[in-house]
Amino acid sequence: MSNVDWFSFALYVGLVALITRPLGLYLVQVLDANGKTFLDPVVRPLELLTYRLMGVDHNEEYDWKRYTMAMLLVSAVSCVFTYAILRLQHVLPLNPQGLPALGEALAFNTAVSFTTNTNWQSYVGESTMSYFSQMVALTLQNFMSAAVGIAIAAALVRGIAWQSGEALGNFWVDLVRIAYYLLLPVCVVFAVFLVSQGVPQNFRPYDTARLVEPIRLADGTSVETQSIAQGPVASQVAIKMLGTNGGGFYNTNAAHPYENPTPLSNFVQMLSIFAIGSALTYYLGRITRNPGHGWAVWAAMMVMFVAAVVVCGAAESRGNPLHQALGLAVADGNMEGKEVRFGIFASSLFAVITTSASCGAVNAMHDSFTALGGLVPLFMIELGEVVIGGVGAGLYGMLVFVILAVFIAGLMVGRTPEYLGKKIGAYDVKMAMLSLLVLCGSILGFTAWASASEWGTAGLNNSGPHGFSEMLYAYSSATGNNGSAFAGLTATPANGDIRYNLTLGLAMLIGRFLMIVPILALAGSLVRKKVAPPSPGTFPVSGATFVVLLVGCVLLVGALNFLPALALGPIVEHFLNLQGRMY
């Protein structure tokens, strides 16, 4: 990594730190049903009208069961809505290319993928999705799933901070306020900025350009034209980044010059991935009246983030010795799958950001990273995407580790563990562990199944340990609701086998809802507890000791669960690569 790279990195971390407090303060207002924002004069009437149309009483508070029911209902309804549009694409408007409807398995996979904030893409956007499908079916979920994630995080924080007996807030109010006061206004500004950088926003049929130099093919025929896919891209890219959805308009996502045309658009997109997740840690500190705790959680995340970027950046700029032996300039690093305008470092940085958060947009092909460079994004997903993490999902995932950390600290000093004055009981630890074990079981279970099956290995693009990594990455990404891929893996094969699409869809559902439900149960349990005043034996949840303990917990759980699998994939591939072995 050069000095310029270090400077870019410092600039990025510094700006994320700067955003955290002001956006966090804004979140406090957004997530308070009676909060005041500068948008009230315009948005408040619309908000109230929405409640009237929905028939909900916005002053009513929900307990955890009702909150969960509402969350599951809106996820189910919107998922069916998305599925229906994808299946009816051929008769719906804004389809200038006349694209056919999606098949059942692919439509199921895609609808689930976007509902769970995963945005894994088993399809090639520009040759599968009409403008209407992109703009309505997929964009709806980009907003909805992001708002749901933030709402769950808010409910958990309230459970920790409040002593209300049962109430965790009103799910509908949270959902609507997040969409109207946070996501939509930021997206409007962001999308206009993206258009100014060159991201298209139109409804033109695909343009046909006459090539400057026609291509002569081996069979004597020649190609005279280039078909250029268009579409309403900017409005979708804005929310896909801000909402950490990550589903690209085009197949190659943020590597495509239309989705990410300039180094500046790339930088702002990276900032937008972390913005809300980072601000939520400030929200945590504010609502629990312990700002030091919020910053300690933030610091724990950032320690792991910085370490991951350094490892990934170093591996990618060192490059592939096999290729360098063939005559490549050593200083150029590993450029396979990367774009010239971003270069090595901005590609490595993006890869770590998108997998630390559960975004999953990519500006370079992770499949073509070096073995260690590709290990980092995979491991970041397997840590549970708690390093800033997906909007909301990152915070509630990290709070599970916080509960675990205070539990372990309590065991070490021989006292009943307590978190911010609330005693952590057996039920709470069970719920926390359940959400962690579900993750691990789904990733390793499905990977084992696929790697021992013919349908699993048939979808691979690479052989040897890298092929195994493709499967491990796929189920990690699906379960973690990330959506990035070692994209050589073909989940929608030409022979019509649906098992990848089905198992990946199941992994996404497990990773989303079997995680959220125990977390809301945990919130419901915590909100019933009374806060006891701190005693000399209370373990402080701010300061360096806590940061070290928390980072230790995250790494320990991640390493114990996944090191054996990683050893069979990227780790062994690294050593084989050094020995010059190829597959």
Q: Got the DSSP string for 241-283?
A: HHTT----SSTTGGGSTTTS-SHHHHHHHHHHHHHHHHHHHHH
Amino acid symbol at 26: Y
Region binding other proteins by CB under 8 A among candidate stretches 115-123, 153-161, 195-203, 449-457: 195-203
Region binding other proteins by CB under 8 A among candidate stretches 49-57, 292-300, 417-425, 518-526: 49-57
Determine if 95 is a binding residue for other proteins (CB under 8 A). Answer: no
Nearest to 378 by CA among 469, 277, 448: 469
Q: Which of 48, 69, 412, 548 binds other proteins (CB under 8 A)?
A: 69
For residue 256, CA distances in Å to 151, 204, 337, 342 come to: 32, 18, 11, 12
Contact 477, 381 (CB under 8 A): yes
Q: Whose Cβ is closer to other proteins: residue 13's or residue 576's? A: 576
Provide Rg for the chain, Cα atoms.
23
Nearest to 244 by CA among 369, 81, 356, 373: 356
Minimum distance of other proteins from residue 269's CB (angstroms): 11
Region binding other proteins by CB under 8 A among candidate stretches 5-13, 499-507, 528-536, 555-563: 5-13
- E strand or H helix at 531, and its extent? none
Q: Which of 116, 118, 235, 525 binds other proteins (CB under 8 A)?
A: 235
Nearest to 468 by CA among 536, 330, 570: 570
Q: Which of 31, 276, 359, 371 binds other proteins (CB under 8 A)?
A: 371
Nearest to 450 by CA among 384, 497, 510: 497
Determine if 212 is a binding residue for other proteins (CB under 8 A). Answer: yes
Q: Which of 42, 192, 413, 532 binds other proteins (CB under 8 A)?
A: 192
Determine if 210 is a binding residue for other proteins (CB under 8 A). Answer: yes
Q: Which of 96, 198, 441, 552 binds other proteins (CB under 8 A)?
A: 198
Minimum distance of other proteins from residue 24's CB (angstroms): 24
Report residue 143 as tokens. Answer: 């907003």
Q: Which of 18, 25, 48, 209 binds other proteins (CB under 8 A)?
A: 209
Q: Whose Cβ is closer to other proteins: residue 148's or residue 434's? A: 148
The tally of CA atoms less than 13 A away on the side-chain side of residue 488 is: 18
Region binding other proteins by CB under 8 A among candidate stretches 52-60, 386-394, 437-445, 451-459: 52-60
Minimum distance of other proteins from residue 124's CB (angstroms): 6
Minimum distance of other proteins from residue 63's CB (angstroms): 11
φ, ψ of residue 405 in degrees (nearest 5): -65, -45
* Footprint of other proteins on 10-29 (CB under 8 A): 11
Minimum distance of other proteins from residue 65's CB (angstroms): 10
Report residue 458 as tokens. Answer: 């048939």
What is the CB neighbour count within 10 angstroms for residue 17? 14
Minimum distance of other proteins from residue 253's CB (angstroms): 9
Q: Whose Cβ is closer to other proteins: residue 12's or residue 298's? A: 12
For residue 401, CA distances in Å to 149, 277, 397 come to: 17, 16, 7
* Footprint of other proteins on 449-508 (CB under 8 A): 461-466, 469, 486-488
